[in-house]
Chain A
Amino acid sequence: MPARPKPNGALQFALHDASKLVSFAKHLDSLGKPRSAIKVWCDAGAAEEIVSVLLEAVGRTAEAGVHRASAATCYEKGRIYPRAVSLLQAALAAQVAESFKRRLRRQLQRCLSMARSKLESDARRRGRQPMPV
């Protein structure tokens, strides 16, 4: 087994930061505070993206894939579907278990469909508004 790189301070800090945001967002969901939770889910998604980049930089590519998938879930819960789609596509390229990839593919289909319907409803709403002068 190849030697595991030494713990990296920035990476450990980022891991803890992202993880704490994920657990806090879940906590807000459980309290039934969806508005506050959405904001924290988006912050958690951004933090998970940073983790995935740092992991990739030290060659831990499979873990990077898992954190990208986690970032995608965070953005999905934060209703930023196009970002979730991009991250799921990137996560599917990682060397992770096939059963996990099956879950990601289902999630990708769901996020694509949500992204499409959100873009369509946004476009309809914009169409009803008067053009700025």
Chain B
Amino acid sequence: MLSMEIIAGTIEEIAGLQPGLFLEHHMVMAVAVLQRIAASPCDFDVVCEGFQPVREPFVLRVHWRRRTARLADKVVRSEQRKPIVERAAVALSALLLGKTVPKASMIVTAQGEHADYWLPEIERALEISGTDGQDILTARIRSKKKQVSMNPLGWSGYAVVCCFAKNQPTIRWSEVYHAGTT
């Protein structure tokens, strides 16, 4: 059996990888979630779906620093779980995309109570979500893919759903083609 490619990075890198986002708090939240799964580093199986040409699965190995871990301990005590998981997913997606699509930096626009993420250099919309359980992963990815396909610019895009399950941390990364593009 062939071993999977490993792409490694530290969560603190995301501030430099994504200069268009304020991610200082997100990286701390990511570590708050990751610490429950493993000590640094934590490996995520990245499953790629819908890519043309096909993109093979790989491992995203996420490291973090002790200082961030100390801040994360405070976050766990003061914040609710759901927003922590959602922001951890944004941080992880920022690392994933920064490492694998380095020419495209993420930006965010405000839309009502939602945040819409974009990769304008490559004309891609982006939907991100996080969950603790494998059981809702498939439903979540389906809903995020639908949101990508309905983006107001009619761009193709990516849906990234991070699952922070203790036994099997996974990222489902889907490429969604908008009708009229290939």
**Chain B residues in contact with chain A, CB under 8 A?**
19-23, 25, 83, 105-112, 115-116, 120-121, 123, 150-154
Q: Is the CB of B22 within 8 A of A20?
A: yes
Q: Is the CB of B107 within 8 A of A15?
A: yes
A62 to B154, CA, bound (A): 10
Can you spell out 29 A-B residue pairs with CB atoms less than 8 angstroms apart? A4-B123, A15-B20, A15-B120, A16-B19, A16-B105, A18-B107, A19-B20, A19-B109, A20-B21, A22-B110, A24-B22, A26-B115, A27-B22, A44-B110, A48-B110, A62-B152, A62-B153, A62-B154, A63-B120, A65-B152, A66-B116, A69-B111, A70-B109, A73-B111, A96-B152, A97-B150, A97-B151, A97-B152, A99-B152
Q: Is the CB of A48 within 8 A of B115?
A: no
Q: Is the CB of B111 within 8 A of A23?
A: no
Interface centre among B83, B109, B120, by most chain A C-beta atoms within 10 angstroms, is B109
Known pairs A4-B123, A97-B154; A20 contacts B20 (CB<8 A): yes
Q: B106 — which chain A residues lie within 8 A by C-beta? A: 19
A125 within 8 A of B: no
Closest chain B residue to A29, Cβ basis:
B113
Q: Is the CB of A19 within 8 A of B123?
A: no
B101 to chain A, nearest CB (A): 15
A81 to chain B, nearest CB (A): 15
A103 to B147, CA, bound (A): 14
Q: Is the CB of B83 within 8 A of A77?
A: no
Q: Is the CB of B22 within 8 A of A73?
A: no
Q: B19 — which chain A residues lie within 8 A by C-beta? A: 16, 20
Residues A88-131 near B (CB distance < 8 A): 96-97, 99-100, 103, 107
A22 to B106, CA, bound (A): 13
Closest chain B residue to A24, Cβ basis:
B22
Q: Is the CB of A66 within 8 A of B109?
A: yes
Q: B111 — which chain A residues lie within 8 A by C-beta? A: 69-70, 73, 103
Q: A99 — which chain B residues lie within 8 A by C-beta? A: 150, 152
A132 within 8 A of B: no
Closest chain A residue to B110, Cβ basis:
A73
